Amino acid sequence: MITYIDRVCFGAAAPLMARDLGLTSVAELKGAFTAFAIAYALFEVPAGWMGDRLGPRPILIRIVLWWSACTALTGLVGLKLGTWSLGGLGTLVALRFLFGAGEAGAYPNITRALHDWFPIQQWEFAQGLIWMAGRISGGVTPLIWTVLVSGTAVSAPLMHWRTTFLVFGGLGVVWCVLFRWKFRDPPSDSRAEHRQEAAATKEADCSPLGKPKHPGHSQVAWRKLLTNPSLWFLCGTYSLLNYGWVFNITYFPAYLQQRFHLPPSDVMGAVYLGAPLWVGSLGCLSGGLCVNWIDHYVRDRRKSRRILGFFAMTLCALCWWNARSAQSLHTFCISVSLAAFCVDLTLGAAWASCQDIGKQSAAVTAAIMNTLGTLGAAAASWQTGSMVEHSIRNAARTANLSMDRLPPDLLDLATFDGFQDVFLTYILMYLAAAVCWCFVRPR
């Protein structure tokens, strides 16, 4: 849950950061959004490999401590101390790169833990619960942010946005203490001795020859893994779906506030800002159930995942088409939230497919998929900002003005036109993702 609190709070803070750093628009933060995603992608496979070698427990503790420190430090960027300033946009970009490097590997190592603890019949549902928790926490983060930073009609702001980053960073430290106390890597090491889980896992966690392997210290069959066509089609669909989904935690808050003029202290506005995530959380939970339901009729679990993936991505493209033509806040938010629901329907199936493909190298396999997915998010973060900036630049050129002197009404119109082009790319990406799902055939 804390992974998404720390991610979403950056998007919620983006308008305030842009203001305090002296930027013209949130689009100028594209470097910060992109730096996180690039670093996340670069360090995903090494962190997954470490989880397969050492077990996920120590790696997850290191990851959370690292990103908690980066979250806290984010609140200090640009802080004025007399005549001194603690960095600017360049510092923020560098810190976001370190943030992404530290957070990389979280979900691959969670995937390895699920592989060790759960039988194959529960993989999709277990993955769905993990992602649902993240989406719920991300969905309520804008509301928490509003109460803490902006205040509401019945309460004053409780703290500065910088202080909020320090508080969110502290949550990760508390989690590490509890996780180290309660969690064990192999099921047999748990103090609670969950014998049934261990027995079920032992049956599912075997090599192709039927010999069980230890949860840690497994060797990666790199040639076999990297020449598996299903892995690359899975990576393709994950990259394409992330291209459109990352909008929800980057530009979405600023877009709603600018286009529909949502006041920062509007509680219902905060609910709208988190809607794609908390509606998506229902998709995370429903995805595993949908695979089970389809499997009841087709009697092929892998084919069931493909069917779900194809139709979910197609519906997602239709939702974005409707969002692109939406004229009201309600229609736009409902369309984007339903698109997020369709994306999250497939998460359990995608990550369970990593477990199918990778077996004892589940963390590395998941890391490869998530690396490509994060590169898709990085490309979208940069391209979205660039397309919006290009639209604003054209409007300024037409009006014979500099970008920073563009009147608010023309700035809003140019921003809207830029995002209309962006949304069209999302539609195309989701249709391509639907095609990729047809070729994910793990054996």
Confidence bin at 319 (pLDDT 50/70/90): very high
Each residue of 213-236: pLDDT tens digit? 444 445 667 888 888 999 999 999
Q: Is the pLDDT of residue 95 over 60?
A: yes
Exposure class string for 403-414: b at 16+ Cβ within 10 A, else e: beebeeeebebb
What span, in angstroms and rounded, lies between the C-alpha atoms of 368 and 43? 10
Q: Which residue has the higher pLDDT, 310 or 20?
A: 310
Which tokens hold the place of 41? 């992608």
Q: H or E element: which one contains 218?
A: none
What average pLDDT score do residues 415-442 get?
95
Give the bridge partners for 181, in sequence order: none
Average pLDDT, the chain: 85
What span, in angstroms and rounded, lies between the C-alpha atoms of 417 and 411? 10
Q: Is the pLDDT of residue 192 over 70?
A: no
Phi, psi (degrees; rounded to nearest 5) at 232: -75, -35
Q: Is the pLDDT of residue 198 over 50?
A: no
- Are 392 and 259 in contact by the 8 Å Cβ rule? The answer is no
What average pLDDT score do residues 167-188 get?
81
- Are 255 and 426 in contact by the 8 Å Cβ rule? The answer is no
- Rounded to the nearest 10 degrees, what angle do helices 252-259 and 329-345 cross at? 160
Which tokens hold the place of 304? 């069931």
Tokens 């095609």 -> residue:
435
**In the chain, % of residues over pLDDT 70:** 91
- Rounded to the nearest 10 degrees, what angle do helices 229-245 and 362-398 cross at? 40
What average pLDDT score do residues 418-436 get?
97
What span, in angstroms and rounded, lies between the C-alpha atoms of 128 and 363? 17
Q: Is the pLDDT of residue 190 over 60?
A: no
Q: Which CATH class is domain 2-186+198-203+213-437?
A: mainly alpha
Each residue of 257-300: pLDDT tens digit? 888 888 777 788 888 888 999 899 899 888 888 998 999 999 88
What span, in angstroms and rounded, lies between the C-alpha atoms of 368 and 396? 42
Confidence bin at 187 (pLDDT 50/70/90): low
Confidence bin at 201 (pLDDT 50/70/90): very low
Which pLDDT belongs to residue 96?
93
Which pLDDT belongs to residue 204?
44
The domain spans of the chain are 2-186+198-203+213-437
- Are 349 and 308 in contact by the 8 Å Cβ rule? The answer is yes
Each residue of 361-383: pLDDT tens digit? 777 888 899 889 989 998 998 99
Q: Is the pLDDT of residue 327 over 50?
A: yes
Determine how many CB atoms are found less than 10 A away from the CB of residue 120: 16
Each residue of 407-422: pLDDT tens digit? 888 888 999 999 999 9
Determine how many CB atoms are found less than 10 A away from the CB of residue 158: 13
What average pLDDT score do residues 75-90 get?
85
Which tokens hold the place of 410? 């023309």
Cβ neighbours for 398, distance < 8 A, ≥ 6 positions apart = none
Give the bridge partners for 80, in sequence order: 85
